Amino acid sequence: MTATVSSPPLHAPGVPELSRRRRTRDVLATVMVHVAFAIAMVPLVWILYSVLGHGWHLLLDSTWWTNSQRNINPERAGGGVYHAIFGTLAQALICAVIAVPLAVFTAIYLVEYGTGRLARAVSFTVDILTGIPSIVAGLFIYALWVTTFGLQRVGLAASLSLVLLMVPVVVRSTEEMLKLVPNELREASYALGVPKWKTISRIVLPTALGGIVTGVMLGLARVMGETAPLLILGPYASSINTDLFNGNMATLPTMIRENFGLPDQPAIDRMWASALTLIVLVLLLNIAGRVVARFSGVKK
């Protein structure tokens, strides 16, 4: 936390009063930064308000959570989002199963083992991975999965492209957490003759667990909202598909995209309702992540 320096008394005895120009500038700056913050809040409130306002009524319908869009065309109301929620959760889960071990071990390497050029190279590539546009991640998996291996565009391929986007988030947050684990803990463990791998797996990781979980949740929230790679790799389907290896699989983002730009009111309603569902899912994960971070983990 930064210590806030309070403003000096503007007029102390014996000190000449501030010139009008200096005082005006000070007041102007104060007003400007407050305005900047207000400007930043406008889109957040506006987006939440419009998505909530347009989408809430469909979410109250129980079929929304239990049905798919099978046999429902844009002109007809009804159906639900079950198939898309399933797809989003399934792809995110598979993505996490691959990305989390890779990312956590990479972070362990960076903090506990890595030295010299290799560590710098790993750190640099994680930075590059952070900046890779999601559409490029999608193109890469397309080039690998479809063009090179000749496979179909299935749920698993979409999951793989999400792995590239999740890994850097988890690496960076895990790395931060591992660095916060006090060295006294490691020293004490080594002093008792505990081997390094046991020190890491029994002492360091459990201490940092809260922060790692937070990183995973934030990473999941990020990949669940990703649309670009799914446009290339995960064509929409209106029915439930539980097979990650076969057939098209719906996800919330592709369902929104599918209903975008149609003139029919039921489709427009569905678009906003699925956007609201996605936001709720992502925000819940996000808030849960912050709560975990708050109540566990390493205290500075």
Partner 1 sequence: MAILTGRPGPGTSPPPADLSSTGRFGDRVFHGLSTGSGIVVIGLVTAVGAFLLAQALPALVRNDANFLTDRVWQVDGDPLRFGIPDLLWVTVISSLVAMVIALPVAIGVALYLTEYAPPRLARPFAYLVDLLAAVPSIVYGLWGATIIITYVAPVQTFLGSVLGWIPLFSTENAITGTIFLASIVLAVMILPIITAISREVFAQTPLTHKEGALALGATRWEMIRTTVLPFGTPGTISAAMLGLGRALGETIAVSLIMGTTNGAFSWSLFSGGETFASRIANNAQEFDTPTKAGAFIAAGLVLFVLTFVVNAMARVVIERRKAFAE
Q: Are 293 and 177 in contact (CB under 8 A)?
A: no
Name the token pair of 132.
């890779």
Report the C-alpha gap between 205 and 193 in whole angstroms. Answer: 18
Q: Kindly state whether residue 288 participates in binding partner 1, applying the rule CB under 8 A.
A: no
Q: How many CB atoms lie within 10 A of CB 21?
A: 8
Name the token pair of 198.
């046991």
Residue of the chain from 286, 288, 296, 298 that contacts partner 1 (CB under 8 A) = 286
Nearer to partner 1 among residue 98 and residue 240 (C-beta):
98
Nearer to partner 1 among residue 78 and residue 235 (C-beta):
235
Nearer to partner 1 among residue 91 and residue 242 (C-beta):
91
Q: Kindly state whether residue 1 participates in binding partner 1, applying the rule CB under 8 A.
A: yes
Q: Kindly state whether residue 224 participates in binding partner 1, applying the rule CB under 8 A.
A: yes
Report the C-alpha gap between 199 and 73 in whole angstroms. Answer: 58
CA triple 207-212-216, angle to 5 deg:
160
Q: How far is the CB of 151 from partner 1 (least distance, A)?
A: 14
Nearer to partner 1 among residue 70 and residue 196 (C-beta):
196
Nearer to partner 1 among residue 73 and residue 125 (C-beta):
125
Q: How many CB atoms lie within 10 A of CB 106?
A: 22
Report the C-alpha gap between 253 and 231 in whole angstroms. Answer: 9
Residue of the chain from 17, 30, 57, 188 that contacts partner 1 (CB under 8 A) = 30
Which range of residues in 30-38, 62-70, 75-83, 241-249 is near partner 1 by CB under 8 A?
Answer: 30-38
Q: Kindly state whether residue 128 participates in binding partner 1, applying the rule CB under 8 A.
A: yes
* DSSP H stretches of helix in 60-154: 62-66, 82-108, 116-131, 134-141
Which range of residues in 60-68, 79-87, 218-226, 237-245 is near partner 1 by CB under 8 A?
Answer: 218-226
Interface of this chain with partner 1, residues 150 to 179, rule: CB under 8 A:
164, 167, 171
Interface of this chain with partner 1, residues 176 to 215, rule: CB under 8 A:
183, 186-187, 190, 195-201
Nearer to partner 1 among residue 257 and residue 298 (C-beta):
257
Interface of this chain with partner 1, residues 234 to 253, rule: CB under 8 A:
235, 253
Q: Kindly state whether residue 109 participates in binding partner 1, applying the rule CB under 8 A.
A: yes
* C-alpha to C-alpha distances, 228 to 89, 133, 253, nearest whole angstrom: 17, 9, 9
Report the C-alpha gap between 189 and 193 in whole angstroms. Answer: 7
Q: Kindly state whether residue 111 participates in binding partner 1, applying the rule CB under 8 A.
A: yes
Q: Kindly state whether residue 277 participates in binding partner 1, applying the rule CB under 8 A.
A: no
Q: How far is the CB of 56 from partner 1 (least distance, A)?
A: 15
Q: Are 181 and 204 in contact (CB under 8 A)?
A: yes
Q: Kindly state whether residue 52 participates in binding partner 1, applying the rule CB under 8 A.
A: no
Cα torsion angle, 149, 151, 153, 158, sign:
negative
Q: Kindly state whether residue 93 participates in binding partner 1, applying the rule CB under 8 A.
A: no
Name the token pair of 233.
């790799």
Longest CA span, the chain: 83
